[in-house]
Structure 1
Amino acid sequence: MSSPATSVQPAVGSRVQRTGDAFMRRLLRSPLHGMVSSKLLIVTVIGRKTGHVYENPVGYARFEGEILIGTAARWHRNLRSGEPVRITVRRQVVEADWEVIRDEEAAAECYGIILEQNPTHGKFAKISLDPIGRVNRKELRAALERGTVVVRLRPRKVLPHA
């Protein structure tokens, strides 16, 4: 019999998330990827403590050859300084250099692009654009305080388009 400290049951939401993520990984790697690959890609990170490989389907936006990902998930903590991250975009595996952005000004600039290309992301992040298309700073500030960051990726090779 295990002690309460060692027998932690995942929350129902966590199981639902894991099931959804597994489905999206399969879809993003399948010939049917086109249904979602303009908005989703897979970021692969290796756990710093566990060495476990985590493959995270995430929403993204493209801007001037870069990829912008707004996230409150913790996968970005496993990025290792000086090492590229592996991403799967439109079934193509690519290495990318990365930068985690926590600064409000830089995050606002990135979130303007993210929300313009993927408005649904704003509902999850609880960040919106005002009527003239600027990021709501109060909502952005609150999201940053909750742990939201922007991960800017610079792929090491040209990515396939739509």
Structure 2
Amino acid sequence: MSSPAKPATTPQSGRTQRSFNAIMRALLRSPLHGLASTKLLIITVTGRKTGHRYENPVGYVEHEGHILIGTAARWPRNLRPGEPAHLELRRRTLTADWEIITDEDRMADLYRIILTHNPTHGRFAGISLEPDGTVNRDELRAAREKGTAVVRLRVHPAP
């Protein structure tokens, strides 16, 4: 007889994550934002069913005019087609067009960039670079199967 699967998060880890997120939101909105805003931004989404606003601190990388976010979290499912994403980056409120990328080859190219610029992300994502600089495809596949995707954002110009 097999044992039941463990939940992805325990109540304690959920509380810890919420507390961490609250601290990071406060820091990213403060005059001390420079301590974290080179690697973190806040993306705000509205729940499809609840209408609740979720403000998520997330790691990001800027590359060739885009912002790249690798994530296994569920917030991307609340991005709505035809509506821009809402960001807070370096204490500026921005909107951006978005694309959720789940194709393995495209993810591998983008994850190579993410991990090159932010190696710490790889420890959280369970994805590493091979000695030749390419993404470990087995790790990427395993992460994809658990819901990992890349969100690519193109920020709208300021009015």
Which bracket does the TM-score occupy, shorter chain normalised? over 0.9
Q: How do residues 42-61 of structure 1 correspond to structure 2 at under 5 angstroms? A: 42-61=42-61
Deviations 1:31-84 (A, max 9, x none): 000001000000000000000000000000110110000000000000000000
Which stretches in structure 1 are left out of the alignment for 5+ residues?
A: 1-9
Equivalent in the alignment of 2:3: none
Output aligned runs, 1:95-106, within 5 Å: 95-106=95-106
SS of aligned partner of 2:51:
coil
The residue identity in structure 2 corresponding to 1:12 is Q
Q: Deviations over 1:95-122 (max 9, x none)?
A: 0000000000000011001000100000
Offset of 1:157 from its aligned partner?
1.9
Q: Percent identity?
A: 63
In the superposition, the TM-score normalised over structure 1's length comes to 0.90
Q: Supply the AA of the counterpart residue of 1:45.
A: V
- Provide the rounded CA distance (Å) in 2 between the counterparts of 1:43 and 1:142: 25
1:157 corresponds to 2:157:
yes
RMSD between aligned residues = 0.9
Aligned residues: 149
What is the aligned partner in structure 1 of residue 7 from structure 2?
A: none
- SS of equivalent to 1:41: strand
Do residues 16 (structure 1) and 10 (structure 2) align? no
Give yes or no for the alignment of 1:35 onto 2:28. Answer: no
C-alpha distance in structure 2 between counterparts of 1:138 and 1:49, whole Å: 34
Q: What secondary structure, in the 3-state scheme, does the structure 1 residue paired with 2:128 have?
A: coil
Report what 2:137 is aligned to: 137
Q: Which amino acid aligns with 2:157?
A: K
Residue aligned with 1:86, SS: strand
- 1:49 is aligned with what amino acid? K
1:108-119 to structure 2, matched below 5 A, reads: 108-119=108-119
Q: Which runs of 5+ in 2 are unaligned?
A: 1-9
- Which residue number in structure 2 is paired with residue 81 of structure 1? 81
TM (norm. structure 2) is 0.92
